[in-house]
Structure 1
Amino acid sequence: MTAPDTTPPRGHAVARFDVCNGDADGLCAVRQWRLHDPSAARLITGLKRDIALLQQVPCVADSEVLVCDLSMQRNRAALDRLLEGGAQVRWFDHHWSGPVPAHHRLDAHLDFSHEVCTSLLVDRYLGGRFRAWALVGAYGDELTAVADRLGEASGLDPLHRALLRRLGLAINYNAYGEDPSDVCIAPAGLYERLARHSSPWTLLRDEPVIHEIEACRRRDFRVAMGVQPHWESAQARVVVLPSAPWSRRVSGFLANALAAVHPGQAQAVLTERHDGHYTVSVRAPRTSPHGAHTVCQAFGGSGRAAAAGIDALPADALDPFVRSLSQARWEAPC
């Protein structure tokens, strides 16, 4: 069978796609790029764990695909398909990528440092033109110290930095859930609100949904803090949450909050899924932010050295996971 000709006719408008994680880092990375290049593009995004999104992009020759805050490793087959079909792909990410294809239509900007997120990579590429949005993404990704330093160097006082952090945490919180009914607003809908504003300041002032997300987070967090650890040692803690909308929303925020309060201890927050498996959020100790991805990869997960996750941990793997976490070494690799 002959493959269909996907070459666009002369004068045909270029098809553009923005593909990103639905958290603060992904959405703010795309927002910066579209302020830089306001061309119309179709947004493809999802909840926090909707990572394999590139497969939703149709293969169109000469199309332009922007990918932000998604693991190349998890999207490699779709990337190869698009490159072979003639798409131009620009990729910004800070997650472990695996081997990066050497292809003239791929422009990859990857950095796996624990002090970098995708919004900061886009900020670096654009020379800091939309720094406030980059800081929102960084604060949302819990790079508080990094964002504070960059914000101070950019002339922002503590009050304005606190406002950007507040916004980043709210956008990030909205990405957690097992299905769209768990969250206040679908990430694609939230991006539509972001896209109405050239700056985060007017977004904070004019969009009530941000305050609704914050109120939801406060309620969820109060409930989560009443859950006793499933297992704990001086080196690590495991919290298991029941299957409920509040627990699916709060899992990542709880892991980050516990990591901040107990910087020398690794954190794992497990949330029971509808199918009886668990989603898992792992945070390496703040004092030695290395090894979270290694723990998760052993159970089919992925992520970064400081923060990683598992989409579906079988119930009978709970005890082996706890043993693995208890035996993990969090020192930086030599």
Structure 2
Amino acid sequence: MNYDIFNGDADGIIALLQLRLANPIESELVTGVKRDIDLLTKLTRNVKLVKGDKLTILDISMKKNQAGLMKALNDGISVFYADHHITGEIPVSKHLSAHIDLDANICTALIVDKLLNRKYHHWAITAAYGDNLIGVADNLSKVAGLTLEQARFLNELGTLINYNGYGSDITDLHYHPAELFAELLKYESPFDVIAESNSPFYKLQDAYQTDMTQVESISPMYQADKLFIIELPDEDWSRRISGVYCNALANKNPHAAHVVLTKNNDGLSYTVSLRAPLSNKFGAGDICSQFDTGGGRAAAAGINTLPIDKIQQLINVIEATY
């Protein structure tokens, strides 16, 4: 049995998309909302893997899945792992093929793009835009000879795919990430997506524009020279828009860190999206890892459940970092 285990955001979906366009196989898709990152550990806990099974793992932190990874490797399971998040110790095993790059200007889809000799390069650029590597993606678009209009489209498509991954659970999303992956797999090129009127692009475009109108009247909860914080209510649109809205804020003011706090339905905590200053892309993952349920990478990170009384502590840590 083949298992494709991937983050439900643009980077995870498009990393797998490239691999399966290049090498179509039947596989069990294991994914979830963007913040559902212990996918491998959950799989090994619930499924009895046997020799001959193969795991392809994309865009989920090795550190957060160490238990599941070690169990699979000790059972002799073949594992292909590509990622750009904090790893912890990378196991040494003949069963593991690890392709890890922690550079703040790299995403998993770009790692796969390199492995495939740029075969689906336009898809990889789309993922870079979706992962908010705007400068990187703009440069790749220019080198690839794309027009400004073509680059703009890839930027919008990547953003929409990423937008679909945010939510507290699958019911918040417009597409289950496995469904969205299957829909996009029909298209050899991202430019084919816009040519088809019933493609996921148009449904997500309408939904994104509707959700974004909700935040226009919200004032900052906290604002300083190097930190900008927005608080969103406990609503499904808030959970969907939180990550891409945080990206948008970061792009408008590249010299400040940005935080979007979304109230959880327990009334006692927030879900946190943090973006490091784009002019100084480091530390976000380290900051969030100091809090329970937190983690991420150098430029972008989050905390699933931050108690309200920890907000000032978060502010202090961010301002001490930047």
Same fold by TM-score, threshold 0.5 exceeded?
A: yes
2:146 and 2:6 map into 1 onto residues whose CA distance is 28
- The offset of 1:253, in angstroms, is 1.1
In structure 1, what residue type is equivalent to 2:17?
R
Other-structure match for 2:37: 51
Other-structure match for 1:36: 22
Which residue of the other structure, out of 267, 283, 292, is the alignment partner of 2:258? 267
Matched, 1:316 2:309: yes
Other-structure match for 2:72: 82
Deviates more, 1:97-106 or 1:315-324: 315-324
In structure 2, what residue type is equivalent to 1:287?
S
Other-structure match for 2:295: 302
Q: Confirm or deny: 8 A CA contact 1:240 1:271 kept in the other structure.
A: yes
In structure 2, what residue type is equivalent to 1:259?
A
In structure 1, what residue type is equivalent to 2:281?
P
TM-score by length of 1: 0.91
Aligned residue pairs total 315
Give the secondary-structure state (helix, strand or coil) at the position aligned to 1:224.
Answer: coil
Per-residue displacement from partner, 1:242-300 (whole Å, max 9, x unpaired)?
A: 10011101111111111111111100111011223211000011111111112111113
Deviates more, 1:140-149 or 1:199-208: 199-208
2:37 and 2:208 map into 1 onto residues whose CA distance is 23
Other-structure match for 2:11: 25
Which runs of no fewer than 5 residues in structure 2 stay unpaired? none
Per-residue displacement from partner, 1:128-154 (whole Å, max 9, x unpaired)?
A: 011111111111001111112122222
Once the two structures are superposed, the pairs formed by residues 124-135 of structure 1 within 5 Å of their partners are 124-135=114-125
Give the secondary-structure state (helix, strand or coil) at the position aligned to 2:70.
Answer: helix
Other-structure match for 2:63: 73
Other-structure match for 1:7: none
In structure 1, what residue type is equivalent to 2:302?
G
Deviates more, 1:249-258 or 1:211-220: 211-220
Q: Confirm or deny: 8 A CA contact 1:73 1:96 kept in the other structure.
A: yes
Deviates more, 1:164-173 or 1:202-211: 202-211
In structure 1, what residue type is equivalent to 2:72?
L
1:153 and 1:52 map into 2 onto residues whose CA distance is 36
Bigger CA radius of gyration? 1
2:158 and 2:194 map into 1 onto residues whose CA distance is 11
1:288 and 1:255 map into 2 onto residues whose CA distance is 16
- The offset of 1:167, in angstroms, is 0.9
1:115 and 1:173 map into 2 onto residues whose CA distance is 20
2:78 and 2:238 map into 1 onto residues whose CA distance is 39
Which residue of the other structure, out of 178, 181, 191, is the alignment partner of 2:171? 181
- The offset of 1:158, in angstroms, is 1.7
Matched, 1:288 2:285: no
TM-score by length of 2: 0.95
Identity of counterpart residues, as a percentage?
Answer: 38
Which runs of no fewer than 5 residues in structure 1 stay unpaired? 1-14, 330-334
Give the secondary-structure state (helix, strand or coil) at the position aligned to 2:4.
Answer: strand
Q: Confirm or deny: 8 A CA contact 1:90 1:108 kept in the other structure.
A: yes
2:25 and 2:177 map into 1 onto residues whose CA distance is 20
In structure 1, what residue type is equivalent to 2:190?
P
CA separation of 1:198/1:208 partners in 2, compared to 1, >3 Å: closer, same or farther?
A: closer
